[in-house]
Structure 1
């Protein structure tokens, strides 16, 4: 964990090779997160976990030495990038003149267990944008928990708040998303 933080600090201070040394340390976890997101996709989906992780890496390289402070913060940024990549892909699919399919993710962990249907990425993105307008912290908790798969404790560290606050915000955000996404189906 300290290696990741040290490499992030080195990268921020101008060591371009630090990001290359960081990637092997976080690659497997990023692939696990990407696989989780793509699990609900139809067979033959354009994105595979490896491609999604590589796209995140390319976007990280493009960023001008962002102030990533620790492992949890890194994964929070990676979660946001994965969300953006999947939303961009879904928009391209929707814009396809042949009526391309909508990218679907399963919110099995993010929503109450009684609601097991899938949600399209664009609907989720719109719901998260709406949630962000109401409560930015709840939106960040969802991004960290759902898109990155951080634990309650890791999300608390990334946000600089207590685990009990994350649990409370997570429960509220899940209920809000459930209502919002249920209303749109």
Structure 2
């Protein structure tokens, strides 16, 4: 790890401690430092969506900021914070999919189309909801599998980074990724994974 990275990680550690002490502006300062990583997470999640999604990277990061700031939890380190942000972003996409489905059923909700929308395409809200339901089922069976899926597929962490973030061996993560994939394929069916 280079000097710049070491300084950045130390800065993040200090900011996390300030957030934990509920110091004014600490959460905003933390987000300013990790903003590029949050944008990368949001972009990574959007690449897994169907083209034509009405949310964009910036909107997801900003909404995640609002949700996380209002609950300002306790995060142990940078990876823990990014895992939590990734989970919030996943829930944002699920909530968005639910609103889209409700709107299609005539609920009267008005959806706001955001400026940086992607190319027109199909509706993936059913797949997002199916994935969310499958992840809830996995969490009931083995909460560790849900954490691994969030790290690997929602936060975009490598196997090694996932193992480090969760305090597990690389081999255990590799084995659990295979179990989780098998469960998701079975739970979601061949057309939705």
TM-score (norm 1): 0.82
Please name the residue that 2:50 is paired with: 41
Q: Per-residue deviation at 1:21? A: 1.5
Pair member with larger Rg: 2
Indicate yes or no: 2:29 matched with 1:21. yes
Q: Which runs of 5 or more residues in structure 1 are unaligned?
A: 105-118
Q: Per-residue deviation at 1:102? A: 4.2
Moved over 3 A (4+): 97-104
Q: Per-residue deviation at 1:88? A: 0.5
Q: Give RMSD over aligned pairs.
A: 2.1
Which has the higher mean CA deviation after the structures are superposed, 84-93 or 147-156?
147-156
Indicate yes or no: 2:142 matched with 1:135. yes
- Cα distance change, pair 2–159 in 1 and its aligned pair in 2 (3 A): same
Please name the residue that 2:11 is paired with: 3
**What is the alpha-carbon distance in structure 2 between the residues aligned to residue 72 and residue 136 of structure 1?**
18
Say which of 71, 76, 86 aligns to 2:78: 71
Please name the residue that 1:155 is paired with: 162
Say which of 83, 95, 103 aligns to 1:88: 95
Q: Which runs of 5 or more residues in structure 2 are unaligned?
A: 1-8, 112-121
Size of the aligned set, in residue pairs, is: 169
**What is the alpha-carbon distance in structure 1 between the residues aligned to residue 191 and residue 141 of structure 2?**
18
Please name the residue that 1:60 is paired with: 68
Please name the residue that 2:124 is paired with: 103
**What is the alpha-carbon distance in structure 2 between the residues aligned to residue 3 and residue 166 of structure 1?**
29
